[in-house]
Amino acid sequence: MNPDFIKLTEITKVYPMGKTGFPALKGISLSIDRGEFIAIMGPSGSGKSTLMNIIGCLDSPTSGTYLLDGEDIGKNSDKELTRIRNKRIGFIFQSFNLLGRQSAMDNVLLPLLYSCTTLRKNRKRITTEALERVGLSTKLRNKPSEMSGGEQQRVAIARALVNNPEIICADEPTGNLDSQTSHEIMEILRGLNKKGRTIILVTYEADIAGYTQRIIRMKDGGIIKE
């Protein structure tokens, strides 16, 4: 077994901007073990989301290597990155990012639709179970506009869970919620971590970061403190 589940070495990201481009990440090296619950903190514009997107295979680094479970992600094609996103990674965003015109069920179904491995007749059961796990068994048919922010974020968590991913990337999941709801969401995430999932969390709030085992602080595209 490879001890380093996620291993980033000298990762840089330069956004195309102006003549030279904007360096959002300036050589990040970081290792995360399987089953860790880790928080990334730092001021706005420090590159937290950029780093998160690279870990989540939504974006690829300008240079550096990213080993996920020993596999060099940089060598993968777009199609393989998509497959990894679908099977191994679940995303939770600050703005929930649900499909507004579809019900909770249909939103949660989305990753299953694209994975193509789940039998049609099992889909309903699996999505219902995922929504039950986040305590939304009574709101299966509700549209996002018919739910509170906390409920919407729980739908997003259910969607992130439904394909049973190893990693959950949560970019400021509590940024749009009051503190009461934030703690409910964090309890759910902690529960998921207890069941062995690796969770990477971006947040500003110290008490939210308190739920995690390790905190990484970033500034100007670099890690300043672990």
Ligand X SMILES: Nc1ncnc2c1ncn2[C@@H]1O[C@H](COP(=O)(O)OP(=O)(O)OP(=O)(O)O)[C@@H](O)[C@H]1O
205: left (phi over 0), alpha (psi -120 to 50) or beta: beta
Closer of 49 and 193 to Mg ion (Cβ)? 49
Q: By CB under 8 A, is residue 97 in contact with other proteins?
A: yes
Contacts with Mg ion by CB under 5 A lie at 49
In the complex with other proteins, the residue whose CB is nearer, 57 or 188, is 57
**Residue from 93, 81, 33, 17 nearest 54 by CA:** 81
Interface with ligand X by CB under 6 A: which range of 14-22, 96-104, 110-118, 192-200? 14-22
* Planar angle of CA 115, 117, 121, nearest 5 degrees: 110
CA 222, 188, 69, 110 dihedral sign is negative
Residue from 6, 11, 24, 28 touching ligand X (CB under 6 A): that is: 24
Residue whose CB is less far from ligand X, 95 or 148: 95
In whole angstroms, how close is the CB of 48 to other proteins at the nearest point? 13
63 binds other proteins (CB under 8 A): no
Separation CA 115–CA 109 (nearest Å): 10
174 binds ligand X (CB under 6 A): no
Other C-beta atoms within 10 Å of 30: how many? 18
Binding partner at 22 among ligand X, other proteins, Mg ion, none, C-beta below 5 to 8 Å by kind: ligand X
